[in-house]
Amino acid sequence: MDNEKIKMIEMLTIPVIKDLLIILYNKYKICDEEKIIELDEYKSELGSIKVSYNKENETKCVYIILKICDKNHDLGTEINKIKPYVTEDQWKQILTYLSTTVFILRTIYSSIYEKLNCTSDAYKNLSVDMQNTTIYLDGVDERIGIFFEECDS
């Protein structure tokens, strides 16, 4: 994967990381709020991954984005929105994006968490729920989910 695609994935992860850290601050007061606000310097714009496909002889597209969700979010439901309509090569590329996104998300989150000098190591590492592919912190209700949202026509 080239540097431009890696940068695009990084931009996809930063806004949801900030959202999760704000939740941690509001619930547990474990991180410095001012430092969380300073995370704006890490991003210049909201990132997403755009996937185009053909459905019923019409070109459609979705954006793959990350958002806060609950433990009931199901990536399988999101995938079913487009999987029947993409080629095998496109599907392989989507899977690569998804796994790379989860890896980068977890890596960046841990790095930022350390820089914030948060008072608890309990929330330092994100885990992946293998049943529904949500990314979570032990003891925190809110999770990070992968969503496929239709492009505006």
The pLDDT, as a whole number, for residue 91 is 94
- Are the beta carbons of 136 and 42 closer than 8 angstroms? no
Domain ranges of the chain: 3-150
In 3D, which of 19, 112, 132 has the Cα closest to residue 66? 19
Q: Is the full-model pTM beyond 0.85?
A: yes
- Are the beta carbons of 54 and 60 closer than 8 angstroms? yes
CA distances from 25 to 12, 21, 38, 101 (A): 21, 6, 14, 24
The pLDDT, as a whole number, for residue 40 is 61
**pLDDT tens digits, one per residue of 32-85:** 777 776 666 555 455 678 889 988 889 999 999 999 999 999 999 999 999 999
The pLDDT, as a whole number, for residue 42 is 55
**Which pLDDT band, with edges at 50, 70 and 90, does 153 fall under?**
low
Helix H segments across 29-149? Answer: 33-37, 75-79, 88-115
**pLDDT tens digits, one per residue of 107-121:** 999 988 888 878 788
Gap between the Cα atoms of 59 and 43, Å rounded: 30
pLDDT at 149 over 80: yes
